[in-house]
Every structure is written in structure tokens, then in C-alpha cells.
Structure 1
Amino acid sequence: MTGSAGTTGRAPLWQVLAVVVTAYGAGASLAFVSFGAPAIVVLFLPAGVTLSALVLSPRRRWPWILAAVAATEIVVDVSHGMSLGWAAGFALTNTAEPLVGASLLRRYLPAEVDLRRRRDLVVFLGCCVGAGPLVGAIIGGTLLAASLGVPWPQSFVSFWAGDATGVLTVAGCVLAWRYSRDGRSGVTRWVGCVGAAVAATVIGFWPHYVPLFYLPILVLFTLAFSQSLVVTLTAGMATTVTANLMTSTGHGPWAALETSDQLITMTLQLFLTTTILGAWTLAVGVDERDRARRDTSVERAARLRLHALQVLTTDLAKAATSEEIAQAVVREGIGLIADHGSVAIVAPGSGEMVLWTSPSRPAGMAERYRLTPAEGATPQRDVIRTGRHLLHRTQADAAAAYPHLDGTFQRLDINSTICVPITGGDAGALGALSFSFHRENAADADVLAFAEALASLTGQALRRAQIYEREHHATQQLQLALLPALGGVLEGIRVFADYRPADLAHQVGGDWYDVFALPGSRIGFAVGDVVGHQLAAAAAMARLQSALRILAQTAPTPGRVLDDLDRASALIPDARTATVGYADYDPATRLLRYACAGHLPPLLVTGDSAAYLWDGRSLPLGVGGAGHGQGQLVVPDDAVLIWFTDGLVERRGEQLTVSLQRLADAAGSLSGRDAATLGGHVVDRLVGDRELADDTVILCVQFTGAAPVGVVAG
């Protein structure tokens, strides 16, 4: 019984005994004075008092409670003229009866008794209303028959009816109060409901011959539909007491019956018991229906939340960066349990906290708090520092902890908050999730568990994203190292270059460009394309680029440079079928010589026209065949040569001639051009923000004459 004892198990023993003695003595005295002649006790409420005390107390206290009840019974009986011997016999009766009922109840219901459950109700009725009073009626009926000369069957029925009704009304009400979690209603409601039951009973039991005694049934059944079980049972107890008082004072249909007191007792208590049980059963049925609806609603909400969480998990798995992860969480995760919220992530290396807020926040707030310094007191910062969640159940609690945020709490009508860390394993907290609610005490155990589960999913995604971001940064640095730095000064040209990889996951590829000085004040420049757009292609590109620079220092013409590079490509893995365009330019003579090994021709833009240079074409590297020829021309002032890789112009399902014409039209449509302006214009027209299917390089060389000018890199 220890594990199932109620509040009386935690209260001091003397307090429990004081309550039991007071309630038992008052009920026993009321039975003698009000509920019938001294010879026949009709309603015995103390039976329910004793049973309730035993059920709500640990077994170690039962002897004390039963001893106190026995002593109280003897005192009350003797004070009303009963001999000590008979009083001791009734004391035995009124202690054996609740002991049997409580023992049987605890045998079949060792845990808490919830009288809203059908099984618990049946066990309570069978053990406490049936078996316990039956034992008491056998002993008490025998004592009544022996002491007063009343026939034993009548004494038995009278005793059983009075005790069973007392247990049903008092113990049922007390146990419903103790174990019910929804029975604490307002005082006004209690007074109204109990007052309505009493008034209906007085009206129904006042006349002798007008059939109004059914009025309490209507009231109790109405309460069973609309109120909790404890309200219904309390009103039922008030009805029972009032009906017995009215009958004992000569009112109502039972007082007018010309029959024995025992028959009046049995039929009246049977009527009241049936009425209360009917209302009780109805209340249980209504409660089961409501709970089933709530369970269905909760289950539906849980399914929707689970589905949303699955969608969010999928989005987190697809998200490649910290920002994409944070946006997915504020877009799809916060709203699953909260009215507002945010995701805070610690920026690696700086200690600053980057904040993303949910769409429900007012416009402008997201940008206002997007980046917060490492120092300063905020819930997110404190959670990240301590690694433990923060819970504020009311707005006052939150404002007391963070006074500088009180205005924000009031403006957003935030009355409770919870903030949980985004854990990063050995790396510590990576950030924090915050959830804000319009109602107080909104963050219960389920909400906290869901918030922590969401933080765990976010942490897993963030760890993966931060690894990717570190690798991404490293590969970007690698690509920048492989491509030439165009920050120097070359005589007679201006240069614009732009590189865009198709492999956004790594930002590396096989397309390349180069501009470098040659002996004799000449300038060499090249554009190449290695098959593929990942690390292997980038490695082959870097070797080809280095080889071309070295070979160009001694080879007399572009054709000879490509011949030598063709032989060198056999020693470079993944360089076979690479295409290369190479040219050299002499600012003194303005002579441009060029050659293309499988590469698309360069576009020369002069004045208002743009024309491709188709001379000097040959097969790609490593394919074999004849040597590489070349073309040459003297370029006019301010002419611009555009050399590019196929990713700039080619479109799936489109003829190459159409693609090349698009580039020529875009380049020829711009007047007053220089290398940077023309290159940016072409990139915007042909690439824009579209997803690339292939790496793209564009190199624009503006021929300005012999004066040294700067170089521009895009």
C-alpha cells in the first residue's frame, strides 16, 4: 500500500487521526439524531469516512486509524444511551467492515484508484460498497436483532443499506477528489451545482403525494453530462443527505409509506443508490468519450507533428550550409510547438552569434538581431555557454532574468519561453533553439522533449554542414591558388577573367585561364578545358597550365607550344582530350598569333562588329594526328579578344552555331567597352544566375597599345 497511499500518507499521523475522529464522530452523531429513531440507523456516513482513510493511508497506519474509529464509536454510542458491551460490538462491526473493503480494494487495485475508469468503478462497488458493508451487516444485524429483538433479516437489510449508501456517497466522493486531476473547479461552480442538487431534492421530497422525487435524477444526470465526476458525486452526496433528512423529518413519499422502517430504509437507499450509480456511470461514459476525443486529437496532432518532423529531417539532410539548416528549422520546425522562435548559431572562429528568427516575428526584427556580439546576456548566449536548457514559465520570470528584453517580450506578447542548446558532441554547443509562447506555462515535459529532439537533429545537420563548409573553403582556396593572380602590370593590354565551376559542392573544376609575360616583351595568354569538373580535373588542369607556361618560354610560335604540350599531356593523368587555346601578343608590332587544339575559336570585338578567328585549328591534346597550325593578325586599337570555354555558350539541344551567334550578338551590342565592362556584360547575358551544366571560363584581353596599364580580375 505504500506506493499507492495518497496525501494522508504524507500528512502527520496526528493530523490524519484528528480528521478521522472529527468526521466520524460528526457523522455517527448525525445518524443517531437525524436519520431515524434511535432503534434503526438509516444512513451511516462514517462508513465512508473510515474506508477513505484506510485507502488513502499506508498499511502501517491502519491499526491507528481503526483504533481511533473504534474509540470514537464507543464514545458516541455510550453518549446516546447504549451500553458499553453493545457499543464495543458496534465498534467491532464498524472497523471490520472498512478493513475488509479496503483490503480487497488494494488487492485488486494496488495502484491509484481512478473512479473514472470502468474497471476501477466495478472493483470499488464490489469490494467497498458490496463486500465490506455485507460483512458489517452480518455482524451489525446480528447485534441489532439480539439487542432490540428485531427480526434478523430486517436488521441485516437496514444495516447493509445504511452503510453501503454511506460508503458509496462519502468514499466515492473522497476518492474521486483525491485521484481526479480535473476536479478543482471554481467556488461559484461548486456552490451552484451542489445548491441545485439540494434545491431539487428539497422540492422533490417535500410533498407526500405529488410525484416530484424524480427531480434530483434530472439534476444529477445533467451534471454528469456537463461537469466532472467529483462535482457529480459531491452533488450526489448532498442529494443523499438531504433526502434522508427530509424523510426522517416526515416529508416526501417515503415518509408517507405505511410499512416498516426497514422497508422504508431499504427502498429509499436503493432509490438513492440507483440514482447516484446511474449518474456516476453516465459521468464515466461521458468522460471516456471526451478522453477518447482528446486522445484522437492528440494522436492526430502527433501524427501531423511527426510528418512535419520527417519533412524537416529530409530538408536538413539536403541542406548543405549552416544558413540553409537554420532557415529550414525556423521555417518548418519552430512552428510545430511554439508561436515564435529563433535559431542561433555560433560563427566558427569569431564567437559571434548569428540569429535566424521565425517568419511570425515582425518585419525587421530578423535583420536587427541577425548578428550579436560574443559578450552580452541573452537566453541563447547563456544556453550556449552552460550547455543546459532555460525555461521561463511566465513573462515575469523571463523579464526578471533578462530585464533588457522585457520590451520585446511585451511587444510580441511572449508569456513563456524555452531555450535549448544545439549540441555538437565534443565540440560543445554549436548554437541554441529558442521557443516563445503566447500562453503561460506552455513548455511542459512533452514540449521540452520535442525541443531537445529538434535541437539534436539540428546539431547533427550542423556538424555535417560545418565539415562541408571547411572543406568548401579549402577547395576554394585551392582553386584560387591554381588560377593565376592577375594583379600585376603588363604592357599594352587590360585583362578581365571570370571562372565559374559547375561543381558547386567543391568549387573546383578543369577549366582554366592564364596570362603571363614572355621573352622579348611579348605576352602569352591561354584558355583550357580538361574533361570533368572535380578534383581530378583540377589537378590535370594545374599540370597542363604549368607545362604550357614553361614550354611557352622557349617555343617560337603558339603552334610549336601546342605541339610540345601535346607530347607532355601523355605524362599527365586525365589530360587526354583536353582542349587548349593559346596566343601570344607583341605590343610593339600589335601582332597577335593564336592556335586552338580542339578549343572553340576566340571572338575578336572591334568597333561595332564581332568576328570569330577560325584559323589555327587542330585536334585536342593526346588525340594524335598532324601538328598544330596557327593564325595571326594585327589587331586594331582598343580591340578586345574574348576567349572562353564551352560552358559559356553551349546549351542542351541547341546547335553550336546558334550558341556562338548569341555570344557574338551580346558582345557586339555594347559600345564604349573595355575589358571589364564587356566581360561583365557577356557573363550577365549568357550566364546570369542559372545553374551551370559545365565549368565556365571567360578571358577578355583588351589591346591598348604599348603604354603599361593595369590588369583587372573578375
Structure 2
Amino acid sequence: MTRSADTTGTSEPAPPPAVAGRASLWHVLTVVVVAYSAGASLAFVGFGAPAIVVLFLPAGVTLSALVLNPRRRWPWILAAIAVTEIVVDVSQGMSVRSASGFALANTAEPLVGALLLRRNVPGPVDLRRRRDLLAFLGCCVVAAPIVGGAIGATTLVASVPVPWPQAFVSFWAGDATGVLTVAGCVLAWRYSPGRSGPLGWVLSVGSAVAATVIGFWPQGMPLFYLPIPVLFALAFSRPLVATLTAGLATTVTANLMTSTGHGPWAALDTSEQLITMTLQLFLATTILGAWALAVGVAERDRARSDTSVERAARLRLHALQVLTTDLAKAATSEEIAQAIVREGIGLIADHGSVALAAAGSTELVLWTTDGRPADMTDRYRGIPAGAATPHSDVMRTGRPVIHQTRTEAVAAYPHLEDVYRTLGVNSGMCVPIDGDAGALGSLAFSFHREHGADAGVIAFAVALATLSGQALRRAQMYERERDATRELQQALLPTLASGLPGIQVCADYRPADVAHQVGGDWYDVFAVPAGRVGFAVGDVVGHQLAAAAAMARLQSALRILAQTAPGPAGALDALDRASTLIPDAGTATVGYADYDPATRLLRYACAGHLPPLLVTGTGAEYLWGGRSLPLGVGRAARGQGELVMPHDAILVWYTDGLVERADEHIAENMQRLADAAGHLTAPDAATLCRHLLDRMAGAEARADDTAILCIQFAGPADAQPYSWRGDAPAVDRPAAR
């Protein structure tokens, strides 16, 4: 409030009280008493006797102390204020009775203001929000000073012959301005501080003070409006707290200039009450105008920020949905890791990596985002699980590792300083990918800025790790099943015998069922009596476990039957009868041949199977002899073809997955296979096998299993020259199935 016996004046702003709930009560009381007594003592310096004080800054000190402290401390703060008020007033020559009345006014006023403000704004008071600003102005600047003004004016008129309405208006104006400037500034510092360097604060406050001095120095020249554009410019370009601090400096400077006889208000020939009212009204209007502009700018910036955040959130959500789809499609751990570094980490970080525990190894396998030097990527492709790295520590402890500055990161991992410097990393974090029995891996995020791992980023990183963990658990289950079925398939397929006379063999098998890696296609090479070598290729309808089981039984049966059969036709005839006892073996196709290294005689027969391809130095041709129906289809007699193999000829026997395509004619693909084999110069069995698979199958998804068997017939030709035995139809003859 404002009061005087014979003097009025202004004072420098008291330093903001350190009255947060963390400070001790004695610390709070000391700061409040010092700030209040300084402002109250300075309030006695005024225009001259007798007068009403224009500005009472301690009103803002008391209100700030109550708002910033819990209610259990309010009685102590108010008691300290009352005692301080009485001591200061008595020391200035007032009676104890008058001093007690002013003490009552200066404790009742902030109590009413704090209660009203807390009722309307129960949480922190953010003066950048319009709702909180209106509550502060209505409760603390308008309503509460009415209480203090009424008590103070009543106390004053009891000792000084001043009209009560004039005393009330002066009290109210002085206290309202003190609350507006001091409490507004303190609450802005406490609840919505701005980030600015010392030079910024010096320029803000200095420009406001300079404009006020220049504007209030001359009396005959109307320049008092100069602080207005300065404060409005600060409101538009600087944080609210800078604007309010500059407004406090403007208010104090204007009152000091007026009290020393400078400016237009000092030259007014009117009552002190009118001077008080008009000066304070001008200052309050100026500060409130700048304040309103600052709030508007802050709301605009928040709206822009919210829009930007919302847009970024939408983009991040869309990218996360795309990543979720890719993770759902990814079948292996490697594909999942690649999807995460390609589409996940970049959503929140500048760099990053994924580390997964390698099966059967003590190393962690690393996948990194793009933009790293190649040598760095190669150097950290695999890291020992026990090494001192964020990934290793997270995998070992299962807890996140967060470093908000490069200094923290280098202190923890000094050997990675060059990596951080090269990538421009100034903060980072690493979170675990949890599995059922410990961490499956970890995700690392690196940022060019310091303190990049804020709460939102950490929450997103944890969500991404959870999503990755779900995908990895599914992938590892699939990989275990795939490995088991692959081992089953390899167990079902024969191990090609080594040391068989006169031949070199290469074979390959690619199932269409990539989920189980098993199928019904098969090949076999084995010894038969009289020094001959038998080899077979077969195809059971289907490409899953049932087909694989039927394939294994047919393969075993053929091996046994071939030991006593007079030739390939007899072996297939016996296999036809045996197939009736094998589930799912009906309509299977089989190609079987035997070879006598001594005579170089090849005998072959096809039960519905595609013809073998003979590759020689002069080209490639299909062997169409010995054809008959598939197993289990009719009882027609089976024939066989014969020929003497030339030196280094290669016989290619395959299943239909190599040449059948849904949108292409099989004859065209068989011709393409023959061309691919015939154009290769002097191949060996292994080279030809790889070449044909690459040309005919490649990396494309297959609708059917594919098996290929290449047999190279080595050694000198000690029999008749190359010749055909059996029918040899044209190459475009459709295969019997």
C-alpha cells in the first residue's frame, strides 16, 4: 500500500525473494524482511511535504512471498511483514497506532490477493497464459489493493486532514502499481523464466531506462511516450520476463524522475492525488499493453509450436505405421534390424544403430544408419559383448544409458571420443530391446544437440524398442523353426557320395516354402552293383512337410530297388508298385539313370519327369528317351534310353521349379535353359550348376521347389563315339505330368 505522514516517493525494486518451497523458512523470512524494509524505507522519499506516496513496491514483495510459499508459512511471513512495517514507520516518526494500522493494511491486502489467486489458479501461475494473467490482474492488482487502500486511507485520515476518497485512490494506485510491477516480475521469473544471456538483459533493461530518462527529462517537450515503443518492441521480440523486468525499471525510473522534478508530471499544477493517479495510470497502461502484446506473441508462438509438434507427431506416427508394417513383413532378425535403422531411428535422432546378440557368438552385430564413414562402419560391424560401449552395457545390465552432453559420454567411454567428434554427437542414449530371458539387443540414438534425450524422445525410444522386441521374438521363433526344418531337409536329402568312379557331381536345392525350407523335390547319387553309379531326381506334388516325408520314402525305396533292378526302367516299374504304399506319393515324377564308367554307357528313364539336358562342347540337347507316365498313373510298360557319354559331358537333371512359370510357356523356358547351358565355355559341374540357377531362378520368389543335379563324366572315351539310343523328339515337346 502507499502511505505518508509528510513525504511521498518511489524506490528501487527490491530483489526477487528466494521463496521457493525448497528454501528454509528462515531463509525465506530473511529475504522477505530485507526486501520489504528496503522498499518501505525508500517509499518515504517523495515529491515533498505533505504528499501521498506514488509507488509502494513492498506490496509486490509480500504478495510474491505468499504465492511462492506453501500456506503453512503464510502466518510467519505475514507476522514478519507486520513487525517490519511497524519498525520502519516508527523509525520515520509515526505513532505506533498509525504504524499498526498500516501494518494491518499491508498484511490483509496480500493475504486477500494470494487467497483469491490460488482459488482461481491452483497450480503454477503462468503469466504468459491469458487466463492466469486475467486472474492475477483481477485478484491481485485490482481487488486486493481495494482492501489495503480502504484500511490505509482510514488509518491516514485519522491523523492527517486528507479527504478519504483521495487517500483511498492514492493508496490503491500505489499498491496496485507495486503489485503489477514487482509481483508480476517475480512470478514471471519463478514460473516462466526466459533464456537469455547477460548481454541481452543489460540491453533490455538499459534501453527501457534510457528511453524513460530521455522521455521524462524535459518538461516542455512531450517525450514521455518514448518508453512505450521500447517496451512493445521487447514484448514482441523477447521473453515475457524480460518485458516485465524492463517495465519495472521503467516504472521506478519514471517515479524517480518525477520525484526529482523532471518530466511532464512534475510540471503539473494540480493536486498530488491527481498526479499520483495519472502517472500510475500511464505506467500501468504502458506495462499492461506491453504485457498483453507479449502474451499474444507467446500464444502465437505456442500455436505455431503446437502446430509444428502436431505435424511432426503426425509424420512420426505415419512413419511408425510404415515401420510397423515393414517389421511385420520382416522374416529374419537382420531384416528387422535393417528396417529399424532405415525407418525408425531417424524419426527422433541424427544418428543411431541397432545391436543384436549373434547366435552362438560372444559378439554383438551392429547395423548403423547412413551417413557414417565407411571405415567406421566396418570397424564397428561387430563388437565384443564385454567391450565398454553403450550397447554392451545396456545388454549386460538391461537398463538404459543416457548422456546429455558429449562431456558425459566421453567420460563414460573415452575410447569413443573420436567417433563422437567425427559424427558431431553431443548427446545420446541407448535403450534395451527386452526379450523373454534378457535383452535381445539394444537401440542407440545420437543427437547433434545437447540434451537431445528429453522425455518425449525417451518415451518414443522405449516404444520403438518394445515394438522391435515383439518383432525380434517372432523372428527368432521363425529362425529356430527354419533352422530345424532346414536341418530336417538336409537330413532327408542325401550326402553326395565322394569317390564314385568316372563322375563329378554338384547339386543344389531351393524350396518354395521359405517359411519351413522343406519340400518334395529331391536328388540322389549312389553306387549300384557291377561298378555302376545311379543318380535320380524326383518331384512329389506339394512343398511342405507331407511332401518332404513322401520324398524321403520314395528316395529310400528307389535306392533299395535299384540294387536288384535290371536297369532304370525296371527300377521305376518297381518304384511305381511301391508308391501305392507311400502316402502322398501319387503322381510323383522321377527321373533315374545308371552309368557304367567302364563302358561310359548311360541308361536313363523318366516317369513323367522332365528330360535331362546333356551339355557337351558342341552345345546342349535334351534326352527325350525312356519316357513314361508319373508314378501311380496307369500300368503301361516303362522304357529307357541309352547313350555313350563323350569326354567331359555334363548331364543336367532338374525339377520343374527351374523352368515352370505361371505366365510363360514351359517350352520357352526349357529352350532358355538349354541356351544358358550351351553358351558356357568348358564349364565344370559346380560352375554350370551355379550358372543355371542364377540365370533361371535368381533371387526371385519361387512358386515351386527347385532341385538341380549336374553330373560331369570325366576320363577318356574308350567306347564308341557319342551317339543317341532311344527316341529324341523336338525340344518343345511338352513334358508328361
| Alpha-carbon separation, structure 1, partners of 2:230 and 2:680 | 92
Shift of residue 528, structure 1, vs aligned partner: 0.7
Is the 1:70–1:95 contact (alpha carbons within 8 Å) kept by the matching residues of 2?
Answer: yes
CA-to-partner distance for each residue in 1:306-361, whole Å, 9 max, x for gaps?
A: 21121111111111111111111111122122222111111122221111111121
Q: Contact conserved, 2:497 with 2:526, CA < 8 A, in 1? A: no
Residue in 1 that maps onto 2:464: 454
Write the letter of the residue equivalent to 1:412. L
What residue in structure 2 maps to residue 86 of structure 1?
Answer: 98
Question: What is the match of residue 576 of structure 1?
Answer: 586
Any conservation in 2 of the 1:578–1:620 contact (CA below 8 Å)? yes
Task: For 2:134 and 2:91, locate their aligned partners in 1 and report how far apart those are by CA, in whole Å.
Answer: 38
Deviation at 1:406, TM superposition (A): 1.9
- Equivalences, count: 701
Structure 2 gap segments, 5+ residues each: 1-16, 718-737
* Aligned residue number for residue 114 of structure 1: 126
Match of 2:640 in 1: 630
SS in 2 for 1:583: strand
Query: Which residue of structure 2 lines up, in the alignment, with residue 493 of structure 1?
Result: 503
Q: CA deviation at 1:370?
A: 1.0
- Whether the 8 Å contact between 1:352 and 1:373 is mirrored in structure 2 is yes
Does the C-alpha gap of structure 1 residues 621 and 265 become closer, same or farther in structure 2, counting only changes over 3 Å?
Answer: same
- Residues 374 and 284 (structure 1 numbering): CA distance in 2 closer, same or farther, change over 3 Å? closer
2:77 to 65, 86, 109: 65
For residue 187 of structure 1, the aligned residue among 170, 184, 198 is 198
State the AA in 2 paired with 1:535: L
Equivalent position amino acid for 1:594 in 2: Y
Give the counterpart of 2:142 among 130, 136, 148: 130
What is the match of residue 66 of structure 2? 54
The CA distance in 2 between the partners of 1:705 and 1:15, in whole Å, is 104
Deviation for aligned residue 1:249: 2.2
Aligned 8 A contact 2:497 2:525 in 1: no
SS at match of 2:158: helix
Q: Which of residues 420, 424, 427 in structure 1 aligns to 2:431?
A: 420
What secondary structure does 1:147 align onto? coil
Where 1:314 maps in the other structure, the secondary structure is helix
Report if the CA contact (8 A) 1:608-1:669 is conserved. Answer: no
Paired residues of 1:580 and 1:597 also in contact (CA < 8 A): yes
Q: What TM-score do you get using the length of structure 2 for normalisation?
A: 0.91
- Give runs of aligned pairs for residues 254-333 of structure 1, distance below 5 A: 254-333=265-344
Aligned to 1:545: 555
One-letter amino acid of the counterpart of residue 602, structure 2: L
**What's the counterpart of residue 687 of structure 1?**
697
Report the alpha carbon displacement of residue 637 of structure 1 after superposing the two structures with TM. 4.0
CA shift for structure 1 position 71: 1.5
2:345 maps to which residue?
Answer: 334
- Bigger mean CA deviation after superposition, 643-652 or 229-238: 643-652
| 1:651–1:185 distance in 2 versus 1, CA, 3 Å | closer
Report what 2:611 is aligned to.
Answer: 601
Find the counterpart in structure 2 of residue 377 from structure 1: 388
State the partner residue of 1:163. Answer: 175
Instruction: Pick closer, same or farther for the CA change 1:662–1:104 going to 2, 3 Å.
Output: closer
Query: 2: CA distance between counterparts of 1:175 and 1:684?
Result: 75
Aligned amino acid, residue 377 of structure 2: A
Partner letter of residue 183 of structure 2? Answer: A
Task: Give the secondary-structure state (helix, strand or coil) at the position aligned to 2:652.
Answer: strand
The one-letter code of the counterpart of 2:94 is M
Q: How far has the Cα of 1:455 moved from its partner?
A: 1.4
User: Are the counterparts in 1 of residues 601 and 644 from structure 2 also a CA contact under 8 Å?
Assistant: yes
Query: What's the secondary structure of 2:43's corresponding residue?
Result: helix
Q: Equivalents in 2 of 1:61, 1:700: separation in Å?
A: 94
Per-residue deviation, 1:376: 2.3
- Give 1:645 shift: 1.3
Deviation at 1:706, TM superposition (A): 9.5
2:239 corresponds in structure 1 to 228
CA distance in 2, matches of 1:322, 1:705: 48
CA distance, structure 1, for counterparts of residue 668 and residue 220 of structure 2: 109
Distance 1:681 1:246 in 2: 97
CA RMSD of aligned residues (A): 2.0
Q: 1:211 to 1:374 in 2, by over 3 A?
A: closer
Q: 2:653 aligns with which of 632, 643, 647?
A: 643
Mapped to 2, the partners of 1:35 and 1:25 lie a distance apart of 20
* Letter aligned with residue 297 of structure 2: V
Query: Cα gap change, 1:334/1:593 in structure 2, threshold over 3 Å: closer, same or farther?
Result: same
How many angstroms does 1:78 deviate by? 1.7
2:223 equivalent to 1:206 = no
Instruction: Give the distance between the partners of 1:601 and 1:128, measured in 2 at CA.
Output: 100
> Partners of 1:670 and 1:74 in 2: how far apart?
112
Correspondence for 2:364: 353
Instruction: Give the C-alpha shift of residue 92 in structure 1.
Output: 1.2
Aligned 8 A contact 1:35 1:43 in 2: no
Question: Which among 409, 416, 427 is matched to residue 405 of structure 1?
Answer: 416
- CA 1:627–1:279 in 2, change beyond 3 Å: closer, same or farther? same
Query: Could you list the per-position Cα deviations for residues 468-503 of structure 1 after superposition, in whole angstroms to 9, with x for gaps in the alignment?
Result: 112211122111111111132222333222222222
> Cα 1:298–1:549, aligned 2, differ >3 Å: closer, same or farther?
same
Contact (CA 8 Å) 2:46, 2:53: kept in 1 or not? no
Contact 2:349 2:447 in 1 (8 A): yes
**Cα offset, 1:389, TM superposition:** 0.8
Matched with 2:518 is 508
SS at match of 2:530: helix
Contact map agreement 1:73 1:90 (CA 8 A) in 2: yes
Is the partner of 1:128 in helix, strand or coil? helix
Change (3 A) 1:579 1:211: same
Partner residue, 2:724: none
The answer to whether residue 411 in structure 2 is matched with residue 395 in structure 1 is: no
* Deviation of the 1:612 alpha carbon: 2.4
Range with bigger deviation, 675-684 or 469-478: 675-684
Residue in structure 1 matching 2:534, options 507, 524, 529: 524
Partner letter of residue 191 of structure 1? V
1:565 aligns with 2:604: no
Percent identical: 76
Post-superposition Cα deviations, 1:198-225, rounded to whole Å, max 9, x if no partner, equal: 2212222222232111111111111111
The 3 A distance-change label for structure 1 pair 681 and 131 is closer
Structure 1 residue identity aligned to 2:128: R
Name the stretch that deviates more: 104-113 or 29-38.
Answer: 29-38
Aligned to 1:657: 667
Judging changes above 3 Å, is the alpha-carbon distance between structure 1 residues 650 and 39 closer, same or farther for their aligned structure 2 residues? closer
> Matched residues in 2 for 1:120 and 1:582: separation?
91
- Aligned partners of 1:176, 1:606: CA distance in 2, in Å? 92
- Write the letter of the residue equivalent to 2:629: L
Q: CA deviation at 1:661?
A: 2.5
Q: Does 1:104 align with 2:128?
A: no
Distance in 2, Cα, partners of 1:572 & 1:594: 24
Distance 1:174 1:624, change over 3 A: same
Q: Tell me, yes or no, if structure 1 residue 248 matches structure 2 residue 269.
A: no
**Worse overlay, 249-258 or 125-134:** 249-258
Q: Decide whether the 8 Å contact of 2:647 with 2:716 is kept in 1.
A: no
The residue number in structure 1 matching 2:8 is none
Alpha-carbon distance in 2 for matches of 1:266, 1:282: 24
- Does 2:471 match 1:467? no
* Alpha-carbon spacing, 1:634–1:246, altered in 2? closer, same or farther (3 Å): closer
SS in 2 for 1:34: coil
Deviation string 1:647-704 (CA, Å, 9 cap, x unpaired) is: 2223444333333222333333344444334434433443344433322222222334
| Residue identity matched to 1:249 | T
Once residues 684 and 200 of structure 2 are traced to their aligned partners in structure 1, the CA distance between those partners, rounded to angstroms, is: 87
TM-score (structure 1 length as normaliser):
0.94
For 1:273 and 1:234, locate their aligned partners in 2 and report how far apart those are by CA, in whole Å. Answer: 14
Does 2:22 correspond to 1:10? yes
> By how many angstroms is 1:390 displaced?
0.9
Report the CA distance shift for 1:32/1:452 in structure 2 as closer, same or farther (over 3 A). Answer: same
**How much has 1:128 moved relative to structure 2?**
0.9
